[in-house]
Amino acid sequence: MLPHTLLQETVLHHLAVIYAGVETTQSLDDIKQRLLQTMGLDDENNVRPIVPHQNHWNEKDVVLITYGDSIEKEGEKPLQTLHCFLERYCKPYINSVHILPFFPYSSDDGFSVIDYSSVNESLGNWTHIAQIADDYRLMADLVINHCSARSAWFDNFIKGEGQGHDFFYTASPQDDLSQVVRPRTSPLLRETVTANGEQHVWCTFSHDQVDFDFRNPEVLITFISIIRQYLDNGVRLFRLDAVAFLWKQIGTPCINLEQTHEAVRLIRTLIEHAQPDAVIITETNIPNRENLAYFGNANEAHAIYNFSLPPLLLNTLITGDCTYLKNWMMSMPPAQNGTTYFNFIASHDGIGLRPAEGLLEERELNTLLSTMQQFGGRVSWRVADNGQQKPYEINIALFDALQGTTAGQDKWGMERFVCAHTIMFGLEGIPGLYVHSLLATGNDYDRLANTNQNRSINRHRWNYDKLESELSNQHSQHAKAHKRLTSLLQKRTAQPAFHPNATQFTLQLGSQLFGYWRQSIDRRQSIFCVSNITDTIQILRLSDVNLIGTDKWQDLISEMEINDALMELELMPYQTVWITNIVY
């Protein structure tokens, strides 16, 4: 079957699943044709052949996560300043950048989008975005579940005419909404007076973030046009924000519904035929098993956020016990070729706790919460199924989160902080490094006070000149962290055994040493990654990791040669070794 014919049949199948039981004013064939035309795939000469299970990444891929204005310089657009920062302080260790929503917005630091087609003029313009995309693989957010209540679309919803007048999901207060899963404590429905009378608009996150109604095919077609625009401006990685909530159906939890999964499959089909090296990453801050489902059968997300890693690794380092982290690691399936994990341990949001459900016992969770609050953190809440409030995420800068253990603050903060990143850098998957971790930025209490939003504590804005001064001072925590993390990345990105899809096995080294083995796809290089996750010296017996005695081994980090496969290594508190048989 010709690629173009197969594409049409595939898209039609996706639409049949999504709109089963939904009355639409257009036929599925008409919707299909409009989608293909919007993406530029109606001409068979534009349809690229797809190679199944192809990895669009390797060990050199590292993503820096940042807001467009995380670093500012007087008299310069922040996107220009960001580009300068990337060139001076990130190259060649980081080859990709995730610029968090850079569109006009009304709240939630960008995630309440007013206009998807424009760059926030306070940041710069599309030319600045394209210039960054020329030098770095660019990741952008597709805020697909909701938009701003101040958008032109929602204005038209209120007027009852024009584009957007039928874009939003409404329900009745009398509907059975008891099963709906919420990430927030605000009321789900927003009363809105419109030209058609009072409407109750669905708001999963806040009343300034009004949810789309994907039962209307015009919403889907509009988002495909947005994707096309982003591709044309150099975006190659698409972060599908809050996508788990996309499809609503009264009487269900309204999360992870089959129509949502099929919509992700459809988006992937269209994107990969238009731009085969483009990647979609699902952002689903939900329990681990549900998160894994977004891989599908290697036909949904290319990558999923590894949301369970941050709370489990944080728990490991503050307790000095890796049992929970190790058990989770052993349960994680290896990603098929063509899919991978997106690893991170800090982000612009917080440390999500739903992904730890079923993985951390309640006692451990309570200890984690109280410890983070001692280190200046805040806790955000959600409404559980029974109507009670439950902790949703911890809001804290990672550098401050790791300044101590359950026993309190100590002198090992920097070592613990570096240890956390060293563990993350070696894991199966692509590492995502938050800019404020690269810079060891602490809690921003002034910003927290100004916004009264918990997440602001980890969304500091640096003055570029001040940052330069800090990074030139070798004694500052910022310079120390930057030097050590970039040194690790320089080593990491040269090792084939750190390919995102290279083999990984968890090592059994007790509860105080956390280790795993990576082997390159060609099986030539092995790396044994072992970390002392305690504040006391630990002994690593190399016989426990079964080094092959005929090979020459070296710790990549310390560059120490290992001449005896039976020797014992003394690991200082929070020290990590990357023991390899081949040094690149």
Count of domains for the chain: 1
Predicted confidence (pLDDT) per residue in 356-374, tens digit: 999 999 999 999 999 999 9
Q: Please report, for the domain that includes residue 507, its CATH number.
A: 2.60.40.1180
Does 399 reside within a domain?
Answer: no
Q: Is residue 545 in a domain?
A: yes
Residue 239, marked binder? yes
Residue 190 in marked binding region: no
| Residue 56 is assigned to a ligand binding site | no
- The pTM assigned to this predicted structure is 0.96
If you ran DSSP here, which 8-state letter would residue 212 be given?
A: B
**Token code pair at residue 435:** 């800019």
Specify if 145 maps to a domain. Answer: no
Closest residue by Cα to residue 358 from 277, 290, 442: 290
For residue 61, say whether it is annotated as part of any ligand binding site. Answer: no
Q: Answer whether 339's CB lies under 8 Å from 281's CB.
A: no
In a domain, 470, yes or no: no
Q: Which structural domain, as residue segments, surrounds residue 516?
A: 503-580
Give me the pLDDT at residue 222, please: 98
In the set 241, 321, 444, 535, the catalytic residue is 241
Three-state secondary-structure class, residue 454? helix
> What is residue 549's predicted lDDT score, i.e. its pLDDT?
72
544 in a structural domain: yes
Q: Please indicate if the annotation marks 42 as binding a ligand.
A: no
Q: Do you find a cis peptide bond into 92, omega within 30 degrees of 0? A: yes
Any domain includes 226: no
Q: What is the pLDDT of residues 377-415, one digit of tens each?
A: 999 988 877 777 889 999 999 999 999 999 999 999 999
CA distance 104 to 126: 13
* 8 A C-beta contact, residue 421 and residue 437: yes
Q: DSSP letters along 102-154, please?
A: -S-BSSGGGTSBS-TTS--TTT--HHHHHHHHHHSEEEEEEE-SEEETTSHHH
Quickly list DSSP for 491-510: HHTT-GGGSTTSEEEE----
The residue ranges of the chain whose pLDDT is under 70 are 1-2
Q: What is the pLDDT of residue 3?
A: 75
Active site residue 241: yes
Q: Is residue 526 part of a domain?
A: yes
Strands (E) located in 244-294: 279-283
Residue 522 domain-assigned?
yes
Query: What's the pLDDT at 1?
Result: 59
349 annotated ligand-binding residue: yes
